[in-house]
Amino acid sequence: MKKSVSKSRFQLQIISKPALVRLSVLVAIFLVLSIWGWWMMFWMPKQSYQGQLPPLQPQEIVLEKLLKQDLQKLSVEIGIRNYSQYQKLNNAKDFLITSLHQAGYKVNQQEYKIDNKSYYNIEVEHKGLKKPDEIIIVGGHYDSAFTSPGANDNGTGAVATLELAKIFANKKTNRTIRFVEFTNEEPPFFWTENMGSLVYAKQLHQHNENVLAMLSLETIGYFSDQPGSQQYPFPLDLLYPNQGNFISFIGNINSGDLVKKAVGSFRRHVQFPSQGTALPGWIPGVGWSDQWSFWEQGYPGIMVTDTAPYRYQYYHTDEDTIDKIDFEKLTRVVNGLVNVISDLAT
């Protein structure tokens, strides 16, 4: 009887060896993929800043005042600006063009038509000294959604683009930087051939332009320290903080290196909380701005954002007004982006 039991056990061990090998291989593959996925999507250089924010420096105080003035013009004096308020959309365009002219730029207008009406992307170029054919693009859309005055979405991104262009007007960089104010990001043009940034990105691709990075500044002015103020699509809520007091850098998987570079630069230079991730573009929110248009043309692009509807309850509503904007924190973000753009353009 003992011999029979021993023989059965021996046979069982022989039979199960291939299965154990297969299981071991599967476990190893799973571990490798998990580590790769974590590194690609979630690991970011350095640590997000924690602690009390330092006082604004004198140049930041000046920047804060300029951002307020610009946003007062766009979201209060002009207000709703889109295809349904065509004249106001053009008023916004004229304001941005005039401001960029006053900063010393030659302004290029990319005109295209929808239903016999002209719409315009607005571009200025800061030429690189040593690598002028290598291009960094910084942009935000200046139209607003539906009947919203669009203070945060996307007045903050538009005025940040404007003030960054003005700051770089007198800087020297090795790579070329283009600052672009996009039209028609909002519905009904979102993710269609008439989306302003897609019109622009297609032209870049047709001209074989060498775009190394695109930064889409999208809804960057609302912050909250309240627990539970930050939401996420599942399962990201298991990984990131539930206080909406940080700025986020978001890209698709192919833009993962750019996300890491931008986050690393921001954290090196700025004492302000930040998060970064590179996710599949199909996850809700990941492609919800102008960086999507550049992905469609094969260019790396990231969205810099306060995460919009995952934090901002006034998103796409009539209540998206200037009083919701935290200008001190907006200023810190924009000032931090000066360093990010400088590093990318080195």
Same domain, residue pair 119 and 223: yes
Does residue 203 have a pLDDT over 60? yes
pLDDT over threshold 70, residue 166: yes
**Whether residue 132 has pLDDT greater than 80:** yes
Residues 100, 164, single domain; the answer is: yes
| Segment 20-48 mean pLDDT | 74
Exposure string over 100-130, b if 16+ CB within 10 A, otherwise e: beebebebeebebeeeeeebbbbbbbbebee
Q: Is the pLDDT of residue 25 over 50?
A: yes
Residues 61 and 27 in one domain: no
- One domain, residues 109 and 238: yes
**Mean pLDDT value of segment 45-60:** 96
Check if the beta carbon of residue 196 is closer than 8 Å to that of residue 189.
yes
Structure-model confidence comparison of residues 45 and 235, the more confident one: 45
My answer on whether 232 and 304 are in the same domain is yes
Average pLDDT on 148-165 reads 98
Are 142 and 5 contained in the same domain? no
CATH number at residue 316: 3.40.630.10
Domain of residue 5, residue span = 1-41
Could you tell me the pLDDT band of residue 30, with boundaries at 50, 70 and 90? low
pLDDT for 233-290, tens place per residue? 887 888 889 999 999 999 999 999 999 999 999 999 999 999 999 999 999 999 999 9
State the pLDDT at residue 197: 98
How many separate domains does the chain show?
2
Do 37 and 107 fall within a single domain? Answer: no
* Average pLDDT for 56-77: 98
pLDDT digits (tens, 9 = 90+) for 206-219: 999 999 999 999 99
Same domain for 335 and 320, yes or no, is: yes
Q: Are residues 151 and 29 in the same domain?
A: no
Q: Do 280 and 211 sit in the same domain of this protein?
A: yes
222-233 pLDDT, tens per residue? 999 999 999 998
Query: 222, 245, 230, 94: which is closest to 153 by C-alpha?
Result: 222
Question: For residue 6, is pLDDT > 80?
Answer: no
Q: Quick: pLDDT tens for 169-200.
A: 999 999 999 999 999 999 999 999 999 999 99
pLDDT higher than threshold 60 for residue 4 = no
Q: Average pLDDT of 64-74?
A: 98
Mean of per-residue pLDDT scores for the chain: 93
User: For residue 1, what pLDDT is reported?
Assistant: 46
For residues 87 and 215, membership in a common domain is answered with yes
- Return the pLDDT at 36: 62
Same domain (yes/no): 162, 21: no
User: Residue 334 pLDDT more than 80?
Assistant: yes
